[in-house]
Amino acid sequence: MSRIAANGIEVSYKIEGPSGAPVVMLSNSFLTDYGMWDSQVPALTKTYRLLRYDARGHGETQASPPPYSMDLLVADVIGLLDALDIGRVHFMGLSMGGMIGQLLASKHPDRLLSAVLCDTACRLPPESVWDDRIKLAQAQGPAAFMRPMTERWLTKADYERHPEIVEKLGAMIKKTSLDGLIGCAQAIKKMDHSAILSGIRVPTLIIVGEEDFGTPVSAAEYLHREIKGSKLAIIKGAAHLPNIEQTETFDRTVLDFLGSL
């Protein structure tokens, strides 16, 4: 990983793939880091240059004191692109990354070639859920989320069959800074992108795991209805992280979409 000053913090990032190829920028979910995209590297770097980064307060990216907002997290993306002198990207975000992607597509369409919004939603009520998570983090730290989150992110079968995946995800959760956890939780708690979706004009693909109960198929279908011309892919045998549970299907879906543009 490398680090660079962007939007007032040090942002960690990694670039891989052929020089001069179109850039695909990958944005991580709440409580993970750039490593959640490891499975996509082999397939995507055959054609594209990948830019992975850690969201504010996650992984190796510097935290700032809460509160955060979605506008701040979008400004981090633009700041990183500017710092790296990258003009336009295909932006792919999962969960929190997809929330960032929605606002990015609305506010900065000139910086996007396309948007891939994975296992995400335009709002996540009730706010009390996020208040409870913030209180738990303040009392017990990020490690308190290791089991409950990994159980939600994976299907029961994969949770039991792949302890190495559970361990990897758990390590990402534990590494998340307390300020980053609380700040991003506050940003998600206050988020409501429902009013901006109809104005998104960049080519958009929406992906969701069929067994995702946190950001369910119904949330993806709503995004699909509101974002004109968007495409929707529902991936069987996956919960919140189809890129990890059904890597081949996920990668093929993304590459087919990007190749059609």
- Would you give the DSSP letter of residue 93? E
pLDDT band at 3 (very low <50, low <70, confident <90, very high): very high
The model scores a pTM over 0.95: yes
- Asked whether 38 and 251 are in contact (CB, 8 A), the reply is no
The confidence score (pLDDT) of residue 249 equals 98
The helix/strand count (H/E) of the chain reads as 11, 8
The confidence score (pLDDT) of residue 217 equals 98
Instruction: Give residue-wise pLDDT tens across range 31-64.
Output: 999 999 999 999 999 999 999 999 999 999 999 9
Percent of the chain at pLDDT exceeding 90: 99
Lookup: tokens for 56: 């504010």
Instruction: Give residue-wise pLDDT tens across range 115-167.
Output: 999 999 999 999 999 999 999 999 999 999 999 999 999 999 999 999 999 99
Contacts of 93 (CB under 8 A, 6+ apart): 26, 27, 28, 99, 100, 101, 116, 117, 118, 120
Lookup: tokens for 172: 């990402």
